[in-house]
Amino acid sequence: MNILVCISKAPDTTSKIAFTNNSTQFDENGVQFIVNPYDEWYALVRALELKETIGGNVTIVTVGTATDEAIIRKALAIGADEAVRIDADPKDAYFVAMQVASYAKAKGFDLVMTGKETINYNGSQVGGMIAEAMDLPFVSLATKLDANGTKLTLEREIVGGVQVVEVQTPAVISCAKGMAEQRIPNMRGIMAARTKPLTVIPAEAVEDLTSYVTYSMPNAKSSVKMIDPSNMDELVALLHNEAKVI
Amino acid sequence: MVLVYINSTTGLSKAALETVTYGKKLSGDVTVITNGSASNEQLAQLGEYGASKVLVDRSVDGEDPQQLARLVAAVADQVSASTVIFSHDIYGKAVAPRLSVRMKAGLVAGAIAVPEADGSVKVNVFSGKAVGYVKVASSKQIISLLPNSIQPEKTGSVCSVEETNGLAGASAINVLETKKPEGNIPLPEAELVVSAGRGLKGPENWGMIEELATALGAATACSRPVADIGWRPHHEHVGQTGVAIRPNLYIAVGISGAIQHLAGVNGSKVIVVVNTDTEAPFFKAADYGVVGDAFDVIPKLTEAVKRFKATQH
Ligand SMILES: Cc1cc2nc3c(=O)[nH]c(=O)nc-3n(C[C@H](O)[C@H](O)[C@H](O)COP(=O)(O)OP(=O)(O)OC[C@H]3O[C@@H](n4cnc5c(N)ncnc54)[C@H](O)[C@@H]3O)c2cc1C
């Protein structure tokens, strides 16, 4: 099976979130970037497991600038065979999806996998957009994936439960928790990653459909009201009369 | 003209009423497109929340986002919709991006408020650690509304319901099995959530959490390590790498309040923290705090909730 895994960079989960340029830009100063956890832990690792059991090839693709090569090498160290960087500094999910779709169409992958969302913009947009641009079926929020010939069997999250579905390849899948377990790259993987092919291709001209005009920080909580542990009736009364949530 | 997609296969959810209400706030002319088996009487009630007309395709089961994207795009075309609204739930996440490409309409994913005066729309970014304002450049736009961001409002009366079909094409997704535990309140839609962490020591101690949740009519959630070690199912894991929720009330029991946990829950309107450790970081994000042992506090809280509920009838 020939699999394409889309990876995105994301700020490390402990990063301090701040904005610059009159609150119009994320302040990358001192921020450590990682592979977006959903892309790495679930999409990439499951792709590698499929390759290990049924054979094939795992390519990773990111739309990003040269500074993203560190996270590309990380994904290669975990076990991807090769990497492609589409050279652009993306601002919009539509832009990213159109770049990936056009590359994937030309290469003819059996399966395109994404994480369910990124932890910075949380849009959950790119997978569905790629599927539409390629006119392929899309299974979102998949928590299990098995392949048998051209048939994929998946479990996906639905409101209040899970569902088992079947779909034919080629298809696009967005991956959520349950798919696989995080893999820590070992020394051999890290060494091998240095020499694995990383192809840089130019981006196509695609207009952005959306932009962030400004950012702000949510209002800080006023200070916490402490309640005596032996007086739970008071807590309930406050939740009813003051907070009005019950 | 605004078009709202709702999924009504299991009746009219609160999320559906929220999206119709949202549509009404944007336009006096709101068409709803839905699929599934809700009765015409049920669907007509959407008029009370602002729909002028409901179109329903009963031949579409709603399991294939590609089919739904075709259906919604065709209807958007028919009614000349300039804005299409979804709930940012599993349907919105699967269908809205497809529709964005199909209609070449910018998508605002996860809106938490009605558009600002300049047309930009507020969304959570960085897993709730900040907010951003998104502006759409295309002439048509799609907005998916984060559940629990606005309240449903009744402003009108029942509206007409019309059947439509033949717009969606075939489904490419074959459903083999649907597993829905009975009586579960889906976490992303829940208004009240009781959540517990490693402080509970073991899965055998969740009985008191479930009792409190039942007394309140709340859903249950947990921190990541609890799901990772298998004490609780994965779908209960909230936080930056789990489900992001914004209920009216979030009660956190034996959870330290790590930054990755807070990221998924800090949109909650009111947070109650129960922890033995006065220094637990979660207290800084809390509205009400109880320093105490969960094994002592939670049964007492459950009793207090039951006493309160008894006075409400
Ligand atoms: C990349 C990344 C992503 C992550 N994503 C998430 C995420 O999405 N969600 C998430 O939750 N975590 C996430 N984490 C993990 C996070 O950093 C914390 O480790 C985790 O949230 C801690 O879980 P906890 O609060 O249940 O456990 P602990 O940190 O062990 O806290 C247990 C708490 O219980 C209290 N306690 C102990 N006994 C009692 C008692 N008897 N009564 C009352 N209180 C008691 C203790 O004082 C302590 O505060 C992530 C970490 C990383 C690195």
Give per-residue pLDDT as tens, A13-45.
888 899 999 999 999 999 999 999 999 999 999
Q: Which atom of ligand 1 is nearest to the CA of B225?
A: 23
Task: Output the residue whose Cα is nearest ligand 1's atom 2.
Answer: A13
Q: What is the pLDDT of residue B68?
A: 97
The answer to whether residue B182 scores a pLDDT higher than 80 is no
- What is the 8-class DSSP label of residue A223? P
- In chain B, residues under CATH classification 3.40.50.620 are 2-163
What is the ipTM metric for this complex?
A: 0.94
Contact state of B131 with A235 under an 8 Å Cβ cutoff: no
* A223 Cβ neighbours under 8 A, 6+ residues apart: none
Q: What is the pLDDT of residue B261?
A: 96
The answer to whether residue A160 scores a pLDDT higher than 80 is no
| B65-79: average pLDDT | 98
- In chain B, residues under CATH classification 3.40.50.1220 are 187-311
The answer to whether residue A138 scores a pLDDT higher than 90 is yes
Q: Which atom of ligand 1 is nearest to the CA of B293?
A: 42
Q: How far is CA B41 from CA B16, B154, B262, in A?
A: 16, 16, 42
Contacts of A114 in chain B (CB under 8 A): none
User: What are the tens digits of pLDDT across the range A107-129?
Assistant: 999 999 999 999 888 889 999 99
Q: What is the pLDDT of residue B188?
A: 82
**CATH 3.40.50.620 fits domain A2-216:** yes
The answer to whether residue A169 scores a pLDDT higher than 70 is yes
Nearest neighbour of A162 by CB, restricted to B95, B179, B307: B179
Phi, psi of B226 (to 5 degrees): -65, -40
The answer to whether residue A191 scores a pLDDT higher than 90 is yes
Q: What is the pLDDT of residue A122?
A: 87
Q: What percent of chain A has pLDDT above 70?
A: 100
| B304-313: average pLDDT | 92
Q: What is the pLDDT of residue A201?
A: 98
Q: What is the pLDDT of residue A5?
A: 98
Q: How confident is the model at residue B234 (pLDDT cuts 50, 70, 90)?
A: confident
With CA atoms as reference, the chain A residue closest to B187 would be A160
The alpha carbon of B262 and the centre of ligand 1 are apart by a number of angstroms equal to: 10
With CA atoms as reference, the chain B residue closest to A131 would be B98
**Contact between residue B107 and residue B76 where contact means Cβ atoms under 8 Å apart:** no
Q: What percent of chain B has pLDDT above 70?
A: 99
Element (H, E) at A34: strand A33-35
Contact state of A243 with B287 under an 8 Å Cβ cutoff: yes
CATH number of B2-163: 3.40.50.620
Nearest neighbour of B125 by CB, restricted to A153, A166, A215: A215
Residue with tokens 């070449």: B104
Asked if B184 is an interface residue toward chain A (Cβ–Cβ < 8 A), one would say yes
Q: What is the pLDDT of residue B180?
A: 82
Q: What is the pLDDT of residue A221?
A: 74
Lowest-pLDDT choice from A133-142, A148-157, A161-170, A212-221: A212-221
User: What are the tens digits of pLDDT across the range B15-42?
Assistant: 999 999 999 999 999 999 999 888 999 9
Asked if A206 is an interface residue toward chain B (Cβ–Cβ < 8 A), one would say no
Sequential DSSP letters for B188-257 = GG-SEEEEE-GGG-SGGGTHHHHHHHHHHT-EEEE-HHHHHTTSS-GGGBBSTTSB----SEEEEES---
Residues 196-235 of B with CB under 8 A from A: 216, 227, 234-235
Residues 135-194 of A with CB under 8 A from B: 137-141, 143, 153, 157-168, 177-178
User: What are the tens digits of pLDDT across the range B268-287?
Assistant: 999 999 999 999 999 999 99
**Contact between residue B272 and residue A235 where contact means Cβ atoms under 8 Å apart:** yes
Q: How confident is the model at residue B184 (pLDDT cuts 50, 70, 90)?
A: low
The Cα–Cα gap between B231 and A159 comes to 22
Q: What's the whole-model pTM score?
A: 0.91
Contact state of B181 with A160 under an 8 Å Cβ cutoff: yes
| B95-103: average pLDDT | 98
**Least Cα separation, residue A33 to chain B (angstroms):** 13
- What is the 8-class DSSP label of residue A245? -
The answer to whether residue A190 scores a pLDDT higher than 80 is yes
Q: What is the pLDDT of residue B9?
A: 86
Element (H, E) at B20: helix B14-26
The answer to whether residue B183 scores a pLDDT higher than 90 is no
The Cα–Cα gap between A218 and B264 comes to 13
Q: Which one of B276, B279, B291, B295 would you pick to mutate in the ligand 1 pocket, going by the greatest count of ligand atoms within 8 A of its CB?
A: B276
**Least Cα separation, residue A172 to chain B (angstroms):** 11
Q: What's the mean pLDDT when you consider all of chain B?
A: 95
CATH domain B187-311 topology: Rossmann fold (3.40.50)
